[in-house]
Amino acid sequence: MKASMGSPDQVMAEAAASTVVAAVEATFMEAAVEEAAAERAATMKTARSSQTERLQWVLQPALARTFTSWAYGMQPRPKRTGFGRAGRNVELVANHFPVVCQLKQAFHYDVTITSVRRKRPEGEMDTGPDGDKKDAEPRAPAKPLTPELSRRVIEALADQEKWPRVWGYDGRKNIYAATLFLPQHESSFEVETTDGDSPRERLFKVTIKWAQTISILTLLQFISGTVEEEEIPQDAVQALDVALKHSMSYRDDVKAFARAIFWRDPTKVWLGYQQSLRPSQAGLTLNMDMAATAFLEPQPVVDYLLRAVGMRTPQDFARLTPQQHRTASKAITGIRIEVRLGGAFQRKYTVKGLMPKGPADLTFLNEQDGKEMSVADYYEERYHISIKQPQVPCINVGTPTKPVWLPPEVCWIVEGQRRLKLDEKQTAEMIKTAVQKPTERKEYIQKCLRDFAKLPEDPVVQAFKMSVDPNFLKVTGRHLPPPELQYSRNRQPFKVVPQPDRGSWDMRDVKFYRPGEIKSFAIAAYCSQRSAGGPVEDPSSIQNFMWDLFKGCNRAGIAVPNMSPVPESLIVWHNPSATFPGDTMAAAHEAASQHFRQEPDIIFVILPERGQTDFYKAIKRASDSHLGVPSQCFVPKNAGICTPPRRGRDQYIGNVVMKVNAKLSGVNVCLISKHVKWMDEPFMVFGADVTHPVGFNQNSPSVAAVVGSLDRQLSCFGSQILPQGHRVELLLDLKSAVKKLMVMFYKRNSVKPRRVIMYRDGVSEGQYPQVQRHEIPQIVEAICELNNCDAKDCDIPVTYIVASKGHHTRLFPATPRDGDKNGNVLPGTVVDKGVVHPTEYDFYLNSHASIQGTSRPVHYHVMLDQNNLGPDELQSFTYNMSYLFCRCTRSVSLVPPCYYAHLAAFRGRILVSESLSDTESSVSSAAEPTNVEFAQTHVKLENRMFYI
């Protein structure tokens, strides 16, 4: 966006504001400590956005954004002023191991590794139809080496130069050493080693330059509180962390990914462990946890493609539909494959896409021979390989403009690639392998530390003068009592007390606190009419299910039309050969409007027996964007439609009815709160999250969602769904979203909020400064615009809290008395000592009872607290809210505003439609959609919980 020219005063104001922005950024960058080197480039890219991007939100207009609003984001994060006292003390242990370090300083070297190209040996084979002209073309800029190859090069160099074992390498750009064992001037080396893809040795040039001396003493003093520092010295943490994992990263039987180590395994799920050094209130600790990830199984590419599209034989590819081709292309794009042409020769590539034709039909101009030929003919002529599966589409390992086409039958999936997206079967297998009971997890973690990593015997760890205690860290936590809940019975308030050890309660014989009402509805049926179109007496019919559903609604207090059976005019059957799924939804909307003489309050949807994903997306786009009516979908198998219902239909209906009431703007349950002074004033609780696309498509946007409470009961949360750039985590338009939600609050309550609390999900520790700097000022500006005041005069306090589940801290009861029957900590267990930040305001809260495996607490870190919420107030408020999630009768692990934002963001993902342009669909092999459209949420639904 270009800055428009205005009056001289405005131009001067914009220039002044730009100077202020630059000054603030400079101040921040001087005060902040650089993050870990592996994350440094990404962090700086976010922190230093282009001037055009900054003008888009920093200066719109420049006079509206003052230094005062920036100051909100520049404040130091709140320090811990005390510890919570509420609840019963419990003794716990955490998967943190105390680390003692006596090293005073470490030395940092910057490393650059480049591959030195040699002339191709005579007779070496190329692998694609374009291979003849590769040597004549200018070579593309060298890509960064993988961490695995970089470690291989540095290991060969260390052996060649006989380095002492006083150093650790992070696999990228940094070597950290306990002594100054290399010259302080720049040194260059040449070293030969294999790259793992081929037995032939390659030549590499390694340039090492001394970067800085790192004070480990400053880190130790920061933890002990003897120095005044705002940020943890991350360079010191990084140096010690790299030393702790260095030796394991070089073992041949492991695969290193970021902070995790996995044992090489021929199965699909690899087990391992994750470790990171953590400065905490208890001192330096090594956080170690079990890790599991799904890897692609080494297999022929043809077999992989068959499974991706659900086909049985390669001949079936002759009937490949455009949708199946799209599915196959998404599945194979970005995966590393190796070409097997016989003998010892194997070359590896990254797949860029799937071509629309097979090797028999895909032709190119062979410039060497000056003739047009097919890929199949090329391989027959050059390699004497007869293509036996010509129907299978070729894969492209080049670019759309300079493609390199390979027949899939000569390609294999390379071992050791993480699977980015799992289907239902793979997810179930992953859970079965990874889920461990708390006692089993403790034993596994301790075994990793003592028997696998063997850190006490590690020479690099010893060189850095570190020792690791093999015993779990003991911490003292507290068990908070559950809140009292309020339902209704006989139109009178009725109190329900959850079970303290389970965090759950029973809704039998009670009704919702404020039930909704269904005055108009219709049914869109996408299942088989032959199987589900019977009368009420047929247990597998829609009529029978609706009878049970309306009974469940009545039990919960929801008023429904008195009709049985449902008139056939209200059941709209989908005709797949004549209509699109959205047309059936529109017909159902029209049927309800004609029958009841008013728009439907909700549309009930019976999904098809198979292929539900695409139908679900089309249905939600129709209801959420075009019709503006909430919809409730039912899976036939779960609902007992088309097949006789199984036991548990009542429970299924009970769960669905809770969602239906929320979509009708009813209130399921509310808290019987003890008097808290700050809650006497009108307040809003916000939640925010961003969901990112899965896979390798660089054009697919991220989707952000912001939700805000619209009532005092914290039962109704309006939403704003915002598409963003690809994998952009910062909320770029938070101001607009917050302002719109505050307007909704005002329209419903006739009063503006006097306090604001924001729970932000999905933010890593490395992104804390950026979130503070970019998002908190936007909240303040939204408040100021709503109240028509300057930031310096804003008297509405803001509390901003980051909620994170992406950590590896686990809590275990030290005695059975302080745990549940599975060995997990009890719901309501809170820890604000020991494993928390040395000085800042944060805590861990386990608010739920884990159904299987080991429970994971949520880490809450306060970025700003103008409401002056003490530890007991904030921890109890956060825990009590976990009982208000409208989809179940148990407390949930994450505070509901974040949970709702997460659901709304995923619903926004459905509203994104992607397609290939005509040109790309015919010539491009990357299959990355460039026509991306976002269907806006219907204005009628923005203040309703349609996304539940």
Residue 632 falls inside a structural domain = yes
Residue 435 falls inside a structural domain = no
Q: Are residues 658 and 686 in the same domain?
A: no
Instruction: Give the pLDDT confidence score for residue 126 in this predicted structure.
Output: 52
Structure tokens, 39 = 């994350």
**What would the mean pLDDT of 618-639 be, rounded to a whole number?**
96
pLDDT of 569 higher than 80: yes
Residues 6+ apart with CB under 8 A from 243: 168, 176, 178, 460, 461, 463, 464, 466
pLDDT in tens, 682-717: 999 999 999 998 765 677 899 999 999 999 999 999
pLDDT of 38 higher than 50: no
User: Rounded CA gap, 101 and 465, in Å?
Assistant: 6
Is the link from the previous residue into 682 a cis peptide, with omega within 30 of 0? no
The answer to whether residues 286 and 244 touch, using CB atoms and an 8 Å cutoff, is yes
Q: Are residues 773 and 845 in the same domain?
A: yes
Structure tokens, 873 = 């107030």
Q: Are residues 254 and 315 in the same domain?
A: no
Residue 927 CB coordination number (10 Å): 24
Domain with residue 635: its CATH number is 3.40.50.2300
pLDDT band at 127 (very low <50, low <70, confident <90, very high): low
Q: Are residues 651 and 696 in the same domain?
A: no
Instruction: Give the pLDDT confidence score for residue 895 in this predicted structure.
Output: 97
pLDDT of 547 higher than 60: yes
pLDDT in tens, 887-901: 999 999 999 999 999
pLDDT band at 129 (very low <50, low <70, confident <90, very high): low
Q: Are residues 329 and 361 in the same domain?
A: yes
Q: Are residues 308 and 229 in the same domain?
A: no
612-621 and 581-596 are packed helices; what angle lies between their axes, rounded to 10 degrees? 50
pLDDT of 216 higher than 50: yes
Residues 6+ apart with CB under 8 A from 851: none
Residue 50 falls inside a structural domain = no
Residues 6+ apart with CB under 8 A from 646: 640
User: Rounded CA gap, 818 and 825, in Å?
Assistant: 7
pLDDT of 195 higher than 90: no
pLDDT band at 793 (very low <50, low <70, confident <90, very high): confident
pLDDT of 333 higher than 80: yes
**What would the mean pLDDT of 846-870 be, rounded to a whole number?**
95
Cα 405 from chain centre: 34
Residues 6+ apart with CB under 8 A from 820: 501, 502, 826, 849
pLDDT of 53 higher than 60: no
**What would the mean pLDDT of 828-850 be, rounded to a whole number?**
96
The answer to whether residues 346 and 419 touch, using CB atoms and an 8 Å cutoff, is no
Instruction: Please state the three-class secondary structure of 870-885 as a single string.
Output: CHHHHHHHHHHHCCCC
pLDDT in tens, 273-308: 999 999 999 999 999 999 988 888 889 999 999 999
Nearest 5 degrees, angle CA 25-CA 31-CA 34? Answer: 95
Residue 152 falls inside a structural domain = yes
Of 138 and 868, more confident: 868
User: Rounded CA gap, 532 and 538, in Å?
Assistant: 9
pLDDT in tens, 383-425: 899 999 999 999 999 988 889 999 999 999 998 888 767 766 7
- In one-letter notation, the amino acid at residue 655 is N
Domain with residue 773: its CATH number is 3.30.420.10
User: Rounded CA gap, 32 and 38, in Å?
Assistant: 17
How close are the terminal C-alpha atoms of the chain, in Å? 36
Nearest 5 degrees, angle CA 463-CA 468-CA 474? Answer: 160
Structure tokens, 745 = 């609050």
Instruction: Give the pLDDT confidence score for residue 456 in this predicted structure.
Output: 84
pLDDT of 824 higher than 80: yes
Q: Are residues 521 and 583 in the same domain?
A: yes
Q: Are residues 327 and 255 in the same domain?
A: no
The answer to whether residues 699 and 929 touch, using CB atoms and an 8 Å cutoff, is yes
Strand partners, 92: 475, 813
Structural domain that includes position 316: 301-413
Instruction: Give the pLDDT confidence score for residue 136 in this predicted structure.
Output: 42
The answer to whether residues 834 and 281 touch, using CB atoms and an 8 Å cutoff, is yes
Residue 268 falls inside a structural domain = no
pLDDT band at 914 (very low <50, low <70, confident <90, very high): low
Q: Are residues 372 and 223 in the same domain?
A: no
Residue 155 falls inside a structural domain = yes
Instruction: Give the pLDDT confidence score for residue 132 in this predicted structure.
Output: 47
Closest CA to 389 of 503, 292, 300, 479: 300
Domain with residue 316: its CATH number is 2.170.260.10
Is the link from the previous residue into 61 a cis peptide, with omega within 30 of 0? yes
DSSP-assigned states of every residue in 637-648: HHHT-SSPPPTT
pLDDT band at 922 (very low <50, low <70, confident <90, very high): very low
User: Rounded CA gap, 344 and 202, in Å?
Assistant: 17
Averaged confidence pLDDT in the chain: 86
Residues 6+ apart with CB under 8 A from 604: 521, 522, 523, 524, 546, 549, 631, 632, 634
pLDDT of 915 higher than 90: no
**What would the mean pLDDT of 4-18 be, rounded to a whole number?**
36
Strand partners, 876: none
pLDDT of 21 higher than 90: no
The answer to whether residues 764 and 720 touch, using CB atoms and an 8 Å cutoff, is no
Residue 53 falls inside a structural domain = no
Q: Are residues 374 and 460 in the same domain?
A: no
Residue 106 CB coordination number (10 Å): 27
Instruction: Give the pLDDT confidence score for residue 564 in this predicted structure.
Output: 84
Instruction: Give the pLDDT confidence score for residue 323 in this predicted structure.
Output: 86
Q: Are residues 152 and 182 in the same domain?
A: yes
Instruction: Give the pLDDT confidence score for residue 665 in this predicted structure.
Output: 95
Domain count for the chain: 4
For 771, 798, 875, 919, 928, the CA distances from 57, given in Å and listed in that order, are 14, 21, 34, 35, 29
- DSSP H/E element including 759: strand 755-761
Closest CA to 47 of 74, 69, 19, 28: 28
pLDDT in tens, 149-181: 999 999 999 999 999 999 999 999 999 999 999
Residue ending a domain, among 663, 694, 727, is 663
Lowest mean pLDDT among 197-211, 339-353, 466-480, 912-926: 912-926
pLDDT of 434 higher than 90: no
pLDDT of 920 higher than 50: no
pLDDT band at 827 (very low <50, low <70, confident <90, very high): very high
Of 45 and 448, more confident: 448
User: Rounded CA gap, 224 and 768, in Å?
Assistant: 22
pLDDT band at 30 (very low <50, low <70, confident <90, very high): very low
Instruction: Give the pLDDT confidence score for residue 69 in this predicted structure.
Output: 65
pLDDT in tens, 763-775: 999 999 999 999 9
Q: Are residues 651 and 683 in the same domain?
A: no
pLDDT in tens, 59-79: 444 444 445 566 777 888 999
Residue 947 falls inside a structural domain = no
